[in-house]
Amino acid sequence: MPTKAATPAPRAQRSSRGKRLSLVIPMHDEAPVLAALFERLDATVGKLKLALEIVCVDDGSRDDTLDLLRQRARTDKRIRAISLSRNFGKEAALTAGLEAACGDMVVPLDADLQDPPELIAEFVRLWEQGYDVVYGVRSDRSSDTPLKRTTANLFYRVFNGVSDFPIPASTGDFRLMDRCVIEALRQLPERNRFMKGLFAWVGFKQVGVPYVRPARLAGETAWGYRKLFRFAVDGVTAFTTLPLRVWTLVGIGAAVVALLTAIGLIVRVLIVGRDVPGYASLMVVVLFAFALQMIALGVMGEYIGRMYQEVKGRPTYLVKDRIGFDA
């Protein structure tokens, strides 16, 4: 059932009869799970009365992922594969898949089956009721480590606290999007892409569906804590300039403290007499001011670095091969 955080009432109902559903699956070293993935898709999405397209994006895999996709595409015409020239990252691979998908409805999902394909039927039902975006909400993340759950909750709190376009908590890329949403996303030219934020920015009628997030089927995730931290910084800097603006307030506050301290020292000298300043307290003040300056420069550097990436105008990804798109 939809969550209570549903947005305003959707449009009139629409029919899925004769419509095409595109699944977009970014892949990086997913050979161990491919057989189980396509078996689950056949048992669930394959039974829906929809024309089905499965767009797999190989993001520079080092194992047999691409070879296995080639083999399956020869016998299953629903499968289309895009091979990127190297590993560009999940956001770029997802962008490539969304731009290649031609369905009336598009569903991105992970290859490790932590996004249960069984939920797609419910997504389609809500799409028929008029919702343009139906996203999955991870109501139970017990399969994640306590540290990952804690950091994820902290990220959503921080992001939604500073961003003008909050994203629903405990959501990922797993969602169904109408063709109008896909066309809107294709108009966004930025290269440092934080897809969760872009999904929220484009708007449209959205509703959430809670589900229990299962454990990864096989293998190990490539998302270590260092990469997740980098991803979180990208998300915050892509959707708010508050980290830049806050340093104006810090500067004003530091100036007020300095002014009050100077007044206090003058009054003390006039009343008590001259006092020899302490070396330790002086070093603390100097080091603290230096640390603030370095943090401010670091925040500015993050934004300047993103401007540098954008003005170069390099493509988000490069395609080495396209498989099954001529069928």
pLDDT in tens, 145-164: 666 667 667 766 766 666 66
Top pLDDT among 197 and 3 is at: 197
* pLDDT for the residue 304: 76
Q: Do 188 and 266 lie in a common domain?
A: no
Pairwise CA distance, residues 253 & 243, whole Å:
16
Number of domains into which the chain is organized: 2
CATH number at residue 82: 3.90.550.10
Contacts of 102 (CB under 8 A, 6+ apart): 20, 22, 53
Answer yes or no: do 305 and 319 share one domain. Answer: no
Question: Based on the domain organization, do 247 and 214 belong to the same domain?
Answer: no
DSSP 117: G
Same domain, 119 and 259: no
* Residue 298 predicted with pLDDT over 80: no
Residue 169 and residue 64 share a domain = yes
Q: Do 143 and 270 fall within a single domain? A: no
In a domain, 1, yes or no: no
Instruction: Give pLDDT, residue 1.
Output: 44
Q: Kindly state whether residues 180 and 255 are assigned to the same domain.
A: no
**Same domain, residue pair 45 and 180:** yes
- Look at residue 186 and tell me if it is in a domain: yes
Least reliable range by pLDDT among 88-92, 169-173, 228-232: 228-232
State how far the Cα of 136 lies from the Cα of 13, in Å rounded to an integer.
21
Q: List helix spans (H) across the chain.
A: 34-43, 65-75, 90-100, 120-128, 146-162, 179-186, 195-201, 225-239, 242-271, 279-312
What local confidence, expressed as pLDDT, does residue 145 receive? 63
Task: Give per-residue pLDDT as tens, 47-101.
Answer: 788 888 889 998 888 888 888 888 888 888 888 888 898 888 888 888 888 888 8
Q: For the residues of 282-296, what is the DSSP string, one character each?
A: HHHHHHHHHHHHHHH
Contacts 24+ apart (CB under 8 A), 234-237: 234/192, 234/194, 235/155, 235/159, 235/194, 235/196, 235/197, 236/158, 236/159, 236/162, 236/163, 237/302, 237/303, 237/306
Distance between CA atoms of residues 77 and 123, nearest Å: 24
Average pLDDT for 133-138: 84
Is 182 inside any structural domain? yes
In a domain, 231, yes or no: no
Q: Are residues 205 and 250 located together in one domain of the fold?
A: no
For range 267-279, the mean pLDDT: 63
Both 279 and 319 in one domain: the answer is no
CB–CB of 138/170 below 8 Å?
Answer: yes
In this structure, the answer to whether residues 47 and 120 fall within a common structural domain is: yes
Q: Give the residue-averaged pLDDT of 125-131.
A: 86
Distance in angstroms (rounded) separating the CA atoms of residues 99 and 55: 10
pTM above 0.85, yes or no: no
Query: Which pLDDT band, with edges at 50, 70 and 90, does 142 fall under?
Result: low
Residue-level pLDDT at 2: 46
Q: Which domain holds residue 258?
A: 242-312
Same domain, 212 and 270: no
